[in-house]
Chain A
Amino acid sequence: MTSLAASLQHHFTDFKQQKESAVLGMWSFLVQEVMFFGGLFLTYAVYRSQYPQAFHDGATHLDVVLGGVNTIVLICSSLTMAMAVHAASKGHRGGIACWLLLTIFFGSIFLGVKVVEYKEKWDHGFIPGISDHGLTVDHETHQARPTGFALYFALYFAMTGLHAIHMIIGIPILAIIAINGLRGRYGPEYYTPVEMTGLYWHFVDIVWIFLFPLLYLIGAH
């Protein structure tokens, strides 16, 4: 119980007040994250409205199956994350670690698929500034790409890249929380770090829920 008592900071009345402050603080951070990603979504909206055909053409070069599988994988990781928070609220030490390990597993699969996709874009020369020989001319038909084609891929890498960075930051945090969970740091009275990590992870899932249709599905028909 000493560790639990130490978890209550002196400026809070009780655990409930401390937790409510943490939840509101975490949400303030997430609102800021919404605006952070919002700038990219705005840029996407502006340029897609200017170059609808180029965005359509760009999207046909993405693999809808890989994107769809990754969407399901990320939803799985959100479920296991929610189950980890649930296990923490019940005080199941092993449960926290097992569900968080599953969350890390699904998150790693997502990033692995992303690596395969990025590699394919590299081979086709769709990476602005690094391997961009395919952005100006179609090597198969020798026709020039439509104006805005490079913008689509610039936004594809900026948006999925920023999303992937969030996951790369999230996975070590999940690992730390899993270890602390095994050590018995969290119980029904105090599991705020597990829940806050969950909020972050679910937010990353929500970003992908919007990225998938906006980047992958606009060239589907």
Chain B
Amino acid sequence: MSASASPEIHPEPDHEKHHGPTVKMYFAIFFALAILTVVTVLAARFDFAPMLGVSMGGFANNVIALSIAFTKATLVVLFFMHVKYENKLVGLAVVSSVIWLSFLILITISDYLTRTSSWHLFN
């Protein structure tokens, strides 16, 4: 590798030859993912209905389950998939996938949940 090549493309200085997570960090992420898996199972078994009512209780379970899943996915993307250590263009690609997916789901769901004329078909 020549040190002088294409300095414009890499504005950040290459302080380490093999920058990236260490072995210790990989194992730490692994244990965090394993613990979060146990937490999500325990949280799903917990019934929030006596506290928040049936519908809000179910909603709380969903929010907790999805929050833990997003946390786990973020850990995998940042450390196992090295996005934390790549240039910002890769980060943009990752974020764009989440944004487009949220458009897909939010717009469609908002349609279904506001079709009051057809509610009788489902209830």
Task: Indicate if the CB atoms of A14 and B86 lie closer than 8 Å.
Answer: no
Interface size on B, residues (CB 8 A): 57
Question: Is the CB of A75 closer than 8 A to any CB of chain B?
Answer: yes
Question: Is the CB of A130 closer than 8 A to any CB of chain B?
Answer: no
Also in contact, A213 and B30, with CB within 8 A (given A13-B5, A23-B86): no
Chain A residue numbers with a CB within 8 Å of B1 are: 14-16, 189
Chain B proximity of A213: nearest CB distance (Å): 4
Question: Is the CB of A24 closer than 8 A to any CB of chain B?
Answer: yes
Given the complex of chains A and B, what is the CA–CA distance between A89 and B22 in angstroms?
A: 12
Task: Indicate if the CB atoms of A50 and B96 lie closer than 8 Å.
Answer: no
Task: Indicate if the CB atoms of B73 and A75 lie closer than 8 Å.
Answer: no
Within 8 A of B (CB), among A15-43: 15-17, 20, 23-24, 27-28, 30-31, 34-35, 38-39, 41-42
Interface residues on chain A, size class: 35 or more
Given the complex of chains A and B, what is the CA–CA distance between A34 and B9 in angstroms?
A: 28
Given the complex of chains A and B, what is the CA–CA distance between A68 and B72 in angstroms?
A: 14
Secondary structure of the A contact surface, majority rule: helix
Which residue of A16, A75, A86 has the most chain B CB atoms within 10 A of its CB atom?
A75
Chain B residue numbers with a CB within 8 Å of A52 are: 58
Task: Indicate if the CB atoms of B40 and A217 lie closer than 8 Å.
Answer: yes
Task: Indicate if the CB atoms of B113 and A49 lie closer than 8 Å.
Answer: yes
Task: Indicate if the CB atoms of A213 and B101 lie closer than 8 Å.
Answer: no
Also in contact, A86 and B23, with CB within 8 A (given A31-B96, A206-B73): yes
Given the complex of chains A and B, what is the CA–CA distance between A78 and B100 in angstroms?
A: 26
Chain A proximity of B7: nearest CB distance (Å): 11
Task: Indicate if the CB atoms of A213 and B40 lie closer than 8 Å.
Answer: yes
Chain A residue numbers with a CB within 8 Å of B98 are: 34
Question: Is the CB of A221 closer than 8 A to any CB of chain B?
Answer: yes
Task: Indicate if the CB atoms of B104 and A221 lie closer than 8 Å.
Answer: no
Chain A residue numbers with a CB within 8 Å of B52 are: none
* Residue in B9, B23, B122 whose CB lies within 8 Å of A50: B122
A-B contact pairs, 6 of them (CB 8 A): A14-B1, A30-B97, A34-B101, A83-B26, A206-B73, A212-B69
Task: For the A-B complex with A13-B5, A17-B5 known, give 17 more contacts whose Cβ atoms are closer than 8 Å.
Answer: A17-B6, A23-B86, A27-B93, A35-B100, A42-B108, A50-B112, A68-B37, A72-B34, A83-B26, A198-B81, A205-B76, A206-B77, A210-B69, A212-B40, A217-B40, A218-B61, A221-B46
Q: Which 8 A-B pairs have the closest CB atoms?
A: A217-B44, A213-B65, A31-B97, A220-B44, A34-B97, A79-B30, A27-B93, A221-B47
